[in-house]
Chain A
Amino acid sequence: MINLKDAHLKPQPMPDADSDIYWRGIQEGKLLLQHCPACGHVQLYQQAICRECGSERLEHRAASGRAKVHSFSVVHRAPGPAFKQDTPYAVLLVELEEGPRMISSFIGADPSAVTFDMAVELVCEPVGGGVSLPRFRAAGPPA
């Protein structure tokens, strides 16, 4: 159960045997996805087997970082004191170019700018303590 002191702290990633490689990737600025050579399925989050065909031979490859907003929610009332100073902020459900969706948050602009199918790009943002989190900002114009 959460105590008053912990309520002021943001939850930190807790890497385990499956997700350790993912969090190390984020620290290096890469969003690693699991590719299944057997069936072509691409998945996030990391697991021991392919969620599509059950194969245990999975390869990690960095995502392009290009994505679009599948859905979102702008938070005006923080779920707890740790997030109070961040409001308003947009929680995103992004669809990566490679297929998988992921929950993330929007940075770099007013959250009211977020809309459906908006093009966004990955930012691995250091949040202190040697930890980085995968976030998304509005995509720049195509190079």
Chain B
Amino acid sequence: MSLPFGLERRRCVWLLLGLAALAGVPQLAAQTAWPSKPVRILVPFPPGGTTDILARAIAPELSKALGQSVVVDNRPGAGGNLGADLVAKSAPDGYTLLMGTVGTHGINKSLYARLPYDPQKDFAPITLVAGVPNVMVMNAERAKALGIAKPVYILGGGECYTHEHIFLMPSLTTTGAVQSSAKAYAMAGCGPKDIDVAGIYDCFTGTVIMMLEDLGFCPKGEGGRFVEDGQITYGGAIPCNTHGGLLSFAHSGMPGSLFHFYEVVNQLRGSCGERQVAGAELGLVHSLGAGFATNATTILGTEATL
């Protein structure tokens, strides 16, 4: 079964201020002495998750900047609603902040019949803290109903996990990308020669060369020459990482490959402007991590490839 890529959305984490009463705002602005007591950042999720980690990264710095203690307070429950509601109903005095997320301030409004707070009216945004990319996978009809004219389809996927620690890597020069891509090509019914554009996880330049070989774009040992000959840019055998990749665009940490997905999806939609690979119909995204231990290959295609 082919699943289309609908659209990508960025899950954002915001720092928000509860506004139980709007009348509290001018009062707050007039309080020049703020903060005169510890400030609490309420995290509506348990310790250890993304939202908590971000709050704990910010709190000490905020504390230094404000000259007051900043305390992180975890209040998990009901998909973040419990904590968000506590902040919404707290005194609007600037001493109770919320690490809001796309859940508490976006998704939950449509998931919960009776949200006890109003995500828009009960809060004032302070700043955007972090972005976490998400991918939405849905059926083609739904994507079209949402106005996505050119949904991109997942045609094949494969994974391979080879070792725990990098010193246990079975081979230092060949990775599980061989197996993961073989599974993906078989599922999609195509081969490396058919791929028009690729997004290859590129934490280091040497990684790209190993992956080009293991994904079958060139024979083993010839990756360096292949790149030197201009085969991974426009007009070459397989234009790669047209957005710049981790090396030139951004290394976002854990979701590194999400930008590769975003770019390849846009290439297949023909919406890359100056970066567009002419006539791109089939795309490949390869992700890896944990010291070459985890490999995942995904093959994407336009409607014409179905």
| B222 interface residue per 8 A CB criterion | no
Residue of A nearest to B165 (CB): A45
10 pairs of residues in contact across A and B, judged by CB atoms under 8 Å: A45-B165, A51-B164, A70-B172, A71-B172, A93-B167, A93-B172, A101-B167, A101-B168, A102-B167, A103-B167
**Chain A residues, Cβ within 8 Å of B168:** 101
Residue of A nearest to B167 (CB): A103
Residue of B nearest to A45 (CB): B165
Number of A-B contacts (CB under 8 A): 10
Main secondary structure of the interface of A (DSSP, over half): strand
**Chain A residues, Cβ within 8 Å of B167:** 93, 101-103
Number of interface residues of B (CB under 8 A): 5
7 tightest A-B CB contacts, nearest first: A103-B167, A101-B167, A71-B172, A93-B167, A102-B167, A101-B168, A51-B164
**Chain B residues, Cβ within 8 Å of A71:** 172
CA distance A101 to B165 in the complex (A): 11
CA distance A76 to B165 in the complex (A): 25
Contact with B along A101-118 (1 / 0, CB 8 A): 111000000000000000
CA distance A71 to B167 in the complex (A): 10
**Chain B residues, Cβ within 8 Å of A51:** 164
CA distance A62 to B168 in the complex (A): 19
Contact with A along B157-168 (1 / 0, CB 8 A): 000000011011
CA distance A19 to B172 in the complex (A): 26
CA distance A103 to B172 in the complex (A): 13
Residue of A nearest to B166 (CB): A103
CA distance A91 to B172 in the complex (A): 15
CA distance A101 to B164 in the complex (A): 13
